[in-house]
Structure 1
Amino acid sequence: MQPFAVKILKNKNNLMVVQGILIGLALIINFISLSETYTQWGLLIAGVIGTLPILIQAIASLKIKLITIDVLVSIAAIGALMIQNYEETAIVTFLFLFGAWLEGKTLDYTRSSIKALTEMAPDLAWVQQADGEFKEEAIDFVDEGDIVLVKTGGKVPVDGAIILGQGSLDEASITGESVLLSKSVGDQVFAGTILENGTLQIRTDKVGEDTTFGRIIELVEEAQDSQSTTEQFINQFAKWYTPLVLVIGGLVGLITRDIELAITILVLGCPGALVIGVPVSNVAGIGNGAKNGFLLKGSEVIQNFAKVDTMLFDKTGTLTLGKAQVNETYSYPLFKDHYLEYLVAVEKESDHPLGLAILNHYKDVQPKRKVGQTDVIKGKGIKARIDGHSVLIGKLALMESQYLKISDNVKLDSQQLERTGHSIVVMAVDQEIVLLLGIKDQIRPGIKTYLDLLRKSGVKSLVLASGDNQATVDLVARELGLDQAMGNLLPEDKAAYLVEQQKQGRQVAFIGDGVNDSPSIAKADVGIAMGSGTDVAIESSDVVLVQSDFKHLVHAYLLSKRTDLNMKENIVIALTVVLLLIGFLLFSPWMSMSLGMLIH
């Protein structure tokens, strides 16, 4: 593009202001009847000034074989100049430029929450040096393991754990809620949060784009760049619609020999509102979500989420807090004290929530033995060798699959635990069951209220799909009023059930948090990950609930429905306006180019 053209486009808004002033002066001169000549010259100059940037954009689009709105308006403006209708030229081009400015402002406004997020990202950190002193450095030079200092009022620059100090942090940038949280040694903190009082020293775990805050910004930016099928259709439609308007205008001019009528049709048929209406809605929805503690990964996700009528939930870490506790222990005749070392050593090889509960319960046990070969048996447990002994830890189904004898005592104890809603972990050494643990999780506070809201908002079926035993799953489902509860499911079983529901014509969302949930999250029409879940679950999801709060799930669902409706409203309004304008042009004497552009 030539330097002159670049300069014109860069100053497009300034030209619009000059044009507006010239139009105003010309109309004042005309009103006080000073001189018709001055009025016409003022409108002519204003028309040429307004036509220039639009014409440059039109030529650029024609070079890549695209007939855009700029082409229609350029032809209309030049045509009006040729028939010496300077007033129409000036006002139409001014209103077009003013509309483009408004469009830019609207998009800037809808993206404001994303800009605010980006601006909140810290770019400096006080980093401990070799001599123990702290020096301010650019965040790009901070590495994992570095100790950083945060003072009152400062932003936390990294994800990490507090090693010294305590204070109150505002985590609104991560959770969407401005609630001060007290943090002390051992607690995790996140980049982008603000230390309202206190002083902290933090050991860096993640920095930059790898932090929770960095990932939020990255995911939201990716979401904004994605397009829904409706948006893609509208863009394709506009590519054909715009040339069609040009052809219709040309035919009208040829048949009626009325150039003014032909160029008026070009202006009235502009699809600007149709093209901008969909992305504005979607960007606004994504920005709203980012500001309120959840991420909608694109406009396609919004459309799909709005149609969801069935929700499948994992249990542990999703409907429950994922902070399971060992409540009951039963040991059997062949149990030996050092078997607890075997138990702890093997569970350290696992990241399953039940395994973490066991480690927390036996935190004083320090294993001296090393685990040899381990073999994870999907959905059932883990098999290992320690000191030449075979160790099995997992469900009763694991013991049965390994042909262990299950005594009547073990069966009775396990049945009693299942009836009271416990998950069961069994340990066997050298083919003999020696220990039975009853582990129970806590249901998320207030979750039933939010599940009821989801049902009232349009979700027809709420289903619990868990790998836990059926008795425990039934207990949770009854307490929460779910429609269906399925236990003892392997990850592939969950995914298979989900696909079966989709084949029946249901729009299915799956909500989970673990690695074992990622196949279902990926297969669902809308995969939803709890923010406290694993990286795999979050990456494979369409929606992330940053704070793992079901209030945000309800908000996300309602927001998607409202955004989708708003997008459809925009399409209907844009098309209706075009039809009405053409109708008024054909059947009323007062429709003109400038009035049509003003209405657009």
Structure 2
Amino acid sequence: MQKYILAHKKELTIINGSLLLLALLDHFFLTQGKIVPFALILSGIAGVLPIAIQAFQSLKVKIVSIDVLVTIAVFGAFFVQSYEEAAVVTFLFLAGHFLEQATLSKTRKAIKSLTEMAPEVSLKKNQAGQFEEVPIDEVHEGDILLVKTGGKVPVDGKVLTGSGYVNEASITGESKTANKQIGSAVYAGTILENGTFQLQAKRVGEDSAFGKIIELVEEAQDSKSSAERFIDKFSKYYTPAVLLLAIIVGLITKDIELAVTVLVLGCPGALVIGIPVSNVAGIGNGAKHGILLKGSETIQDFSKVDTMVFDKTGTLTVGAPRVNKVISNPEINENKAISTLVSIEAESDHPLAQAVVKTYPDTLKYPVNQTQVIKGGGITATVKGNKVILGNLQLIKTNGIKLRPEEMSQSKELEAEGNSLIFMAINNQLALILGIKDQLRPNVKTELASLKKLGVKNLVLLSGDNQGTVDQIAQQLSLTEAKGNMLPEDKAMYIKKLQEEGQNVTFVGDGVNDSPSLATANTGIAMGNGTDVAIETSDIVLLNSDFSRLAPTLRLVKSTSHNMLQNIVIAVGVVLFLLSSLLFSNWINMGIGMFVHEASIIVVILNALRLLNHRLRR
């Protein structure tokens, strides 16, 4: 019977409201009140049934819920024959519940849309070499898949053949398309707007980037912040306290109706709903813009950050070294020397060699002969009949090539600026000195200034790089502090030291070596292009590794935290206002009190909904 009644809660609400409306019509227009009492009694009974069942279920688990207060209030109204109050209170309570659910569903739209965007089918290559449509569950790592124009990329993978422009808004939060060529990485849930390509599946199902987004956001919704836990605990004591107050008022005044009214006015509905709806709205907005907030606890912690610690490579820098400075011999043609350099480096997979090739992608290349790799030194080769020595300073000196004093001075200056050096000699004459350096992210200084404006007092750099490079970056970016030559465990220990000093620390990183620091900090933020370990360990993920999202993320969590506080003030203020009005004036009654309560619930929900329209300004 209980299940049946709760399953038809909506219908009972309609009956409750219809009978209440009939009573009003009868009183003013029909028989002048002959059927009013019967309509009100039936309306009250229809309304109180689901509320009473919910009250009984909460009492079974030793919780005195709001439903208990309302049930006692309605039975009290029946006892004093205030049938109109019973009908109005039950209708407003039930109608308020449905309004809450309808309004709350809006806050979950951004999250629900994620699951709807998940691919369901894929074109998979079979043993006969043909592509057939199969459910996404039948796609496994290593399978070859076909994606056509307008189709969704079914899994994470790498493009094998073809090309196209992919809308990656579901992953990065950016609406601009990305050009995908052979070898490019593609992600599940993204849409191929133009082109056709085949891909090899790398990560499928829940292991894909899109699957992790859905999993992380769902986990975030289920988590509770310290503020929510406080409200839960508060409600356990608050509700019995209101019940006790009503009993005391009834005993002192001998006025049962007044005691019942105290029960109704003391309902903390807006207080209970205010914080969760703010959290869900904030998390939903973040997910829509490529920012994963892993739980409401994260919102509370990050909103109070005063110290932000950064890794260097891939965080403050782009993680892709390039030629930063070239010193050339005026006696040798620089363009020909660079062509010679790129021709040799193109045959090497060394990171510094790749940095050179990427810096000069369109340079003319010459045939390379007699290549010999000198372990720990560099390369010797013959290019267009010229003997070329390419590598570090030690290799140059070993081959008897002398540097002029000004060249030595310039190379030391480059090294002091944090550059890795490459020397190239042609026919035993120094031709080039190259300084190779990872580049700072665009506008990183402006973004750090924005963080300071938002209340971050200390900006700290911790890196495994040499202290000279770290100091130079710290000076460029006006950082508070910078530490070089740090191992992963050193970074984590340093963060603990900051926390022991009373600082609320956020760490921003992207590599496996950053995982201990991400886990140790009050809040860990991972760049989305980082390693899976870093992303799993962190509390916040910036999906497109866009550093310019950092300040807007902090602004969003601060707005969410402020929104929670506003909702608490509204909820507590309404209860205090109603109870004081009841005790010190005579204008308020049970029906008016319940109406104000339900109105306050809608107000806190609408206030939270503003977070869905919060713009992540850059």
Q: Assess same fold via TM > 0.5.
A: yes
Once residues 184 and 500 of structure 1 are traced to their aligned partners in structure 2, the CA distance between those partners, rounded to angstroms, is 46
Aligned to 1:430: none
Matched, 1:287 2:284: yes
State the partner residue of 2:7. Answer: 10
Take 1:513 and 1:73, find their aligned partners in 2: how far apart are those partners?
52
Correspondent of 1:459 among 456, 459, 469: 456
2:582 aligned partner: 585
> Where does structure 1 lack aligned partners over 5 or more consecutive residues?
331-339, 348-352, 372-380, 382-394, 397-408, 427-435
Q: Which moved more, 1:131-140 or 1:39-48?
A: 39-48
| Cα distance change of structure 1 residues 51 and 499 upon mapping to structure 2, 3 Å threshold | same
Q: Displacement of 1:239 after TM fit?
A: 0.7
Once structures 1 and 2 are overlaid, which stretch shifts more, 568-577 or 204-213? Answer: 568-577
- What secondary structure does 1:241 align onto? helix
Supply the RMSD in Å over aligned alpha carbons.
3.1
Which residue number in structure 2 is paired with residue 277 of structure 1?
Answer: 274
Q: In structure 2, which of residues 89, 100, 105 is the aligned counterpart of residue 103 of structure 1?
A: 100
Residue 388 of structure 2: aligned partner: none
- CA distance, structure 2, for counterparts of residue 415 and residue 31 of structure 1: 97
1:401-416 aligned within 5 A = 415-416=412-413
Q: Is the 8 A contact 1:318 1:530 kept in 2?
A: yes
- What SS is found at the alignment partner of 2:479? coil
**Shift, 1:195, TM fit:** 1.1
Q: 1:95 is paired with a residue of what secondary structure?
A: helix
Distance 1:191 1:248 in 2: 57
Q: Which of 484, 487, 504 does residue 487 from structure 1 map onto?
A: 484
Q: Following TM superposition, by how much is the alpha carbon of 1:367 offset from its aligned partner in structure 2, in angstroms?
A: 12
C-alpha separation in 2, matches of 1:214 and 1:575: 40
Q: 1:240 aligns with which of 214, 237, 240?
A: 237
Instruction: State the identity as a percent.
Output: 57
> What displacement does 1:439 show?
3.5
Alignment CA distance shift 1:479-1:542 (3 Å) = same
Which deviates the most, 118-127 or 491-500?
491-500
| 1:527-548 per-position Cα deviation (integer Å, ceiling 9, x unaligned) | 1110011111111111111011
1:147 alignment counterpart? 144
Distance 1:446 1:40, change over 3 A: same
Alignment partner of 1:523 is 2:520? yes
Partner of 1:173: 170
Show the counterpart of 2:475. 478
Name the structure 2 match of 1:513. Answer: 510
Q: Which residue of 2 aligns with 1:192?
A: 189
Mapped pair 1:206 → 2:203:
yes
Amino acid at match of 2:508: I
SS at match of 2:160: strand
Unaligned 5+ residue runs, structure 2? Answer: 328-343, 362-367, 377-391, 394-404, 424-432, 598-618
C-alpha contact (below 8 Å) 2:147/2:153 kept by paired residues: yes
Q: Is the Cα–Cα contact under 8 Å of residues 298 and 523 in structure 2 kept in the other structure?
A: yes
Aligned equivalents of 2:309, 2:44: Cα separation in 1: 60
Tell me, in whole angstroms, the C-alpha distance in 2 between the residues paired with 1:142 and 1:38.
67
Please give the secondary structure, in 2, of the residue aligned with 1:295.
strand
2:157 & 2:39 partners in 1: Cα distance?
65
Three-state SS of the structure 2 residue aligned to 1:36 is coil
Counterpart check, 1:539 vs 2:516: no
Partner Cα separation in structure 2 for residue 359 and residue 466 of structure 1: 26
The one-letter code matched in structure 1 to 2:305 is V
Confirm or deny: 8 A CA contact 1:418 1:469 kept in the other structure: no
* Corresponding position of 2:430: none
Q: Distance in 1 between matches of 2:255 and 2:156?
A: 69
C-alpha distance in structure 2 between counterparts of 1:84 and 1:68, whole Å = 25
Q: Give, in angstroms, the shift of residue 365 of structure 1.
A: 12
What is the letter of the counterpart of residue 110 of structure 2?
Answer: S
Letter of the 1:543 partner, please give it. I
Structure-to-structure mapping, 1:112-511, within 5 angstroms:
112-325=109-322, 415-423=412-420, 439-511=436-508
- Determine which structure has greater relative contact order: mean sequence separation of CA pairs < 8 Å that are 6+ residues apart, divided by chain length: 2
In the superposition, the TM-score normalised over structure 2's length comes to 0.81
- Secondary structure of the structure 2 residue equivalent to 1:100: helix
1:199 is displaced (CA, Å) by 1.4
Alignment partners' CA distance in 2, 1:512 and 1:156: 28
Q: Any conservation in 1 of the 2:498–2:505 contact (CA below 8 Å)? A: yes
The structural deviation recorded for 1:586 is: 0.9
- For residues 202 and 264 of structure 1, what CA distance do their matches in structure 2 show? 67
C-alpha distance in 1 between matches for 2:352 and 2:579 = 67
For 2:189 and 2:370, how far apart are their aligned partners in 1? 37
SS at match of 2:524: strand
**Residues 365 and 588 of structure 1: CA distance in aligned 2, closer, same or farther (over 3 Å):** farther
Equivalent residue, structure 2, for 1:405: none
Q: Is the 8 A contact 2:144 2:198 kept in 1?
A: yes
For residues 289 and 563 of structure 2, what CA distance do their matches in structure 1 show? 19
Deviation, structure 1 residue 263: 0.8
Q: Could you tell me how far apart the structure 2 residues matched to 1:361 and 1:583 are?
A: 73
**Partners of 2:488 and 2:513 within 8 A in 1:** yes
Are residues 424 and 218 of structure 1, via their aligned partners in 2, closer, same or farther at CA, if it must alter by over 3 Å? farther
Note the 1:561-576 alignment, pairs <5 A: 561-576=558-573
C-alpha distance after superposition, 1:149-176 (max 9, x if no partner): 1111111111011112221111111011
In structure 2, distance between residues paired with 1:540 and 1:493 = 18
Match of residue 389 from structure 1:
none
Q: Distance in 2 between matches of 1:424 and 1:510?
A: 31
In 1, Cα distance between equivalents of 2:324 and 2:568: 57
The 3 A distance-change label for structure 1 pair 557 and 105 is same
Q: Aligned in 2, Cα 1:477/1:595: closer, same or farther, shift over 3 Å?
A: same
* 2:337 match: none
For residues 190 and 240 of structure 1, the distance between their equivalents in structure 2, rounded to whole angstroms, comes to: 49
Give 1:253 deviation, angstroms.
1.5
Report deviation, 1:25.
Answer: 2.2
Q: 1:467 to 1:54 in 2, by over 3 A?
A: same
Letter of the structure 1 residue corresponding to residue 413 of structure 2: Q
* Cα shift readout 1:532-579 (whole Å, capped 9, x = no counterpart): 111111111111110111222111101111111111111121111111
Q: Deviations over 1:95-139 (max 9, x none)?
A: 111121122223322111111101111111111111111111111
Partners of 2:142 and 2:323 lie apart in 1 by 33
The structural deviation recorded for 1:272 is 1.2
Structure 1 residue 278, shift from structure 2 partner: 0.9
* 11-20 vs 89-98, which moves further: 11-20
Alignment size in residue pairs: 540
In structure 1, distance between residues paired with 2:530 and 2:436: 20
The residue that corresponds to 2:401 in the other structure is: none
Match of 1:378 in 2: none
